[in-house]
Chain A
Amino acid sequence: MIESAQRLAWRLAPQLIALIIILILCRLVFPGFYSIEFQNGRLYGSLIDVLNRGAPVALLAVGMTVVIATKGIDLSVGAVMAICGAVAASSSVRGDPLVLTLILTLGVGLICGVWNGFLVSVLNIQPIVATLVLMVAGRGIAQLITEGAILTFNDPGLIFIGSGSFIALPMPVVTWLLFGIAVAVLLRLTALGLLIEAVGINRRASTLSGIRTPVLLMAAYMLSGLCAAIAGIIVAADIKGADANNAGLWLELDAILAVVVGGTSLLGGRFSIIASLIGAMIIQAINTGILLSGFPPEFNLIIKAAIIVIILVIQSPKVQGVMTFLTVKSARKRDVEQTAQ
């Protein structure tokens, strides 16, 4: 137990250090960054904003991690968010009860996942191409549902999911924390996680050794669709309306980035959902920090890119190799000196 906890800490160390450095930088550009107040029955402050605004990317990153671990990728999550937001809004406007709206929306997300899974696992189309189909078509489907306009709704239950609060935390934060931990625990306490890694490392060998690869792949894409559906509901509920043109736009890239910053290889295999969640928070902390800093908006993307390049360079195998070499060398030198004394 202690050993596995130690291993987890070792695995998460680069991400945690990066997050801490980013948070310190945020504090430098905006002195009030760490202040948290209790207001209107919920916590209120920039750190809470990071957790809250990072919710969509964090949720997408959960599904994306599993898909990437199977050596796949899901480019359609942003578009699926738009579809699901549109479905939720139109269902709510129609006057459906909240439970039906949620079942319908999550169902649509799962169906989108089934479509991607079918293309990848049954037809054996390369994941990047297979999911590109829905990425392009999905936004059109969402626009058909909303008829091109921003569909606004007033159901307090649905709005609560986006801007309500539970035990003093905003609902989106509670949602992604619980969902992320639940998936991580499910995958690690059962053999599922191991099987997913096996498929990602060598699909053929996994199939030959008796793993039902198509089912597993299908499940991975369905999980990704489900995550996108939840993210879509949150984003729509947050602004009390479904914006088919902009909901989830480019978020698939942020989700992939979160997974990569989290240290999971795009080549599949070993993965860590917790690390991806930290990755999502790193990205959001950068975003929030830039907004609070008061720099002109022209710099936003440049600053974000520069920070991410630094993080990725530190994590790259070459630099890691050099670091290990240096630490080992200095340790040896110390040993030698000690022996000499």
Chain B
Amino acid sequence: MKFKTALASATILAACMFGSASAADLTIGFSQIGSESGWRAAETTLTKQQAEKRGIDLKFADAQQKQENQIKAIRSFIAQGVDAILIAPVVATGWDEVLTEAKDAEIPVILLDRTVDSSKDLYLTAVTSDLVHEGNVAGKWLVDTVAGKPCNVVELQGTTGSSPAIDRKKGFEEALKGHDNLKIIRSQTGDFTRTKGKEVMESFLKAEDGGKNICALYAHNDDMAVGAIQAIKEAGLKPGTDILVVSIDAVPDIFQAMAAGEANATVELTPDMAGPALDALEAYLKDKTEPPKWIQTESKLYTQADDPQKVYEAKKGLGY
């Protein structure tokens, strides 16, 4: 205890001496896109938790899906003289001016979850997941699980043309390359929703001999998988046994399905973007360590062996 206090006072002393702020009295502005999905709500909750844990004063601004609100929020953060700014940018373009203002005010900016088209020296770093890698992890799991046995895969794509749909498809197909026992026999969009996931899975089951022809389902997000699981059950098959189910996102409800043995694996798109971001920021403020321009978050694979019930309980309160 004493050691900690001593350390803390030493840090404060050092901070005063060098004129830079320590984590203890940092003020950070966070411009969030909005709360359009459960995942984003969880990201907000976790960012607030991370800030609280580190004793950071977090100023939170909800942009309600509008870039102009984000730009306003960033300008007001600059006016308030915050120590750093976190942005989850709603679109990729149109950030040059406001980012230059932040740079002129010598406030480091970190991008969360999405990137922007501006020059790389306008922000400190970007913390995002790699969508292609996520699809790849899901594909590898399936390749390892079927272990050389022939397997027909059906795919529920995300919204046609959206970057998660394109990249998660690409990553999965890359993982399957060279494994001729695995074949994607049907691929159709389920618009990332449970209702469409269920409807499309119903049609897959009808089209493939009542589902007897299908050995695995790959869904671009958990919600579609949850819908598809219901369709499989209603068709009189056992999801998780008769048809393997692998999806991406790791939302709480898929862990419930995994605990019930109805889903097999999910790849986490972590909502904890703020953790790595704040680590990089603290290191930068402490001794000017330049972080890499892109910090990739871990795409962790969860299976039925990872005590899904416990993960579900832990994730439930995050606002998903």
Q: Is the CB of B253 within 8 A of A246?
A: no
Which one of B187, B202, B207, B253 contacts A152 once the chains associate, using CB atoms below 8 Å?
A: B253
Summed over the interface, the residue pairs from A and B with CB atoms below 8 Å come to a total of 83
**Would you call A32 an interface residue if the criterion is a C-beta within 8 Å of the partner chain's C-beta atoms?**
yes
Interface-facing stretch out of A42-50, A60-68, A203-211: A42-50
Task: Assign chain B's interface to a size class.
Answer: 20 to 34
| B203: nearest chain-A partner, CB-CB | A291
Task: Indicate if the CB atoms of A150 and B203 lie closer than 8 Å.
Answer: no
> Does residue A40 face the partner (Cβ distance < 8 Å to B)?
yes
Task: Say yes or no: is A292 at the interface (Cβ < 8 Å to chain B).
Answer: yes
A297 touches B41 (CB 8 A): no
Task: Mark interface residues in B188-212 (1 if CB within 8 Å of A CB, else 0).
Answer: 1101111100111011001100000
User: Given the known A-B contacts A149-B38, A150-B253, are A241 and B194 also in contact in the complex, defined by CB atoms under 8 Å?
Assistant: yes
- Check if B193 sits within 8 Å of A297, measured CB to CB: no
Say how far A256's CB is from chain B's closest CB, in angstroms: 20
Please, how many angstroms separate the alpha-carbon atoms of A334 and B265 in the complex?
71
**Is B22 part of the contact surface with A, judged by Cβ < 8 Å?**
no
A240 touches B189 (CB 8 A): no
- Tell me if A39 is interfacial: C-beta within 8 Å of chain B: yes
Q: A232-249 CB contact bits vs B (8 Å, 1 = yes)?
A: 000100111101011100
CA distance A68 to B99 in the complex (A): 51
For A261-283 the 0/1 string (1 means CB < 8 A from B) is: 00000000000000000000000
Binds A, one of B12-20, B77-85, B130-138, B230-238: B230-238
For residue A163, CB closer than 8 A to chain B, the reply is yes
The reply to whether A148 and B319 contact each other, CB–CB distance below 8 Å, is yes
Asked if residues A239 and B227 are in contact (CB atoms below 8 Å), the reply is yes
Name the contact of A300 in the complex, choosing from B189, B202, B234 (C-beta under 8 A): B189
- Assembly CA distance A296 to B207 (angstroms): 15
Judge if B186 is at the interface, Cβ distance under 8 Å.
Answer: yes
Which residues of chain A have C-beta atoms less than 8 A from B192's C-beta? 246
Interface of A is mostly: mixed
B195 touches A239 (CB 8 A): yes
B36, B206, B223, B253: the one contacting A292 at CB < 8 Å is: B206
- Residues of B near A239 (CB, < 8 A) are 194-195, 198, 226-227, 230
B230 & A297 in contact (Cβ 8 Å cutoff) = no
Name B167-222 residues within 8 Å CB distance of A: 186-189, 191-195, 198-200, 202-203, 206-207
By the criterion CB–CB under 8 Å, are B187 and A292 in contact? Answer: no
Name the one of B194, B202, B206 contacting A243, with C-beta atoms under 8 angstroms. B194
Which of B36, B193, B203 has most chain A Cβ within 10 Å?
A: B203
Answer yes or no: B145 CB below 8 A from chain A CBs.
no
Residues of A with C-beta under 8 A to B200? 291
Chain A residues closer than 8 Å to B199, beta-carbon distance: 49, 53, 291
Which residue of A49, A149, A163 is within 8 Å of B203 (Cβ)? A49
B186 contacts across to A, CB distance below 8 A: 294
Decide yes or no whether A175 CB sits under 8 A from chain B. Answer: no
Are the CB atoms of A148 and B206 closer together than 8 Å? no
Residues of chain A touching chain B, judged by Cβ–Cβ distance below 8 Å, are 30, 32, 39-40, 44-46, 49, 53, 143, 147-150, 152, 163, 235, 238-241, 243, 245-247, 288, 291-292, 294, 296-298, 300
Listed by A's residue number, 21 A-B pairs whose Cβ atoms lie within 8 Å are: A32-B206, A32-B207, A39-B235, A46-B203, A49-B203, A53-B199, A147-B41, A147-B319, A148-B37, A149-B320, A150-B223, A163-B230, A163-B234, A240-B230, A243-B223, A246-B192, A246-B193, A246-B195, A291-B199, A296-B187, A297-B188
Chain B residues at the A interface, C-beta cutoff of 8 Å? 35-38, 41, 157, 160-161, 186-189, 191-195, 198-200, 202-203, 206-207, 223, 226-227, 230, 234-236, 253, 319-320
List 7 A-B pairs, minimum CB-CB distance, nearest first.
A291-B203, A297-B189, A239-B194, A246-B193, A149-B38, A148-B35, A297-B160
Q: A49-B206, A150-B223 are in contact. List 6 more A-B contacts (CB 8 A).
A: A49-B199, A163-B230, A235-B195, A238-B195, A243-B193, A246-B195
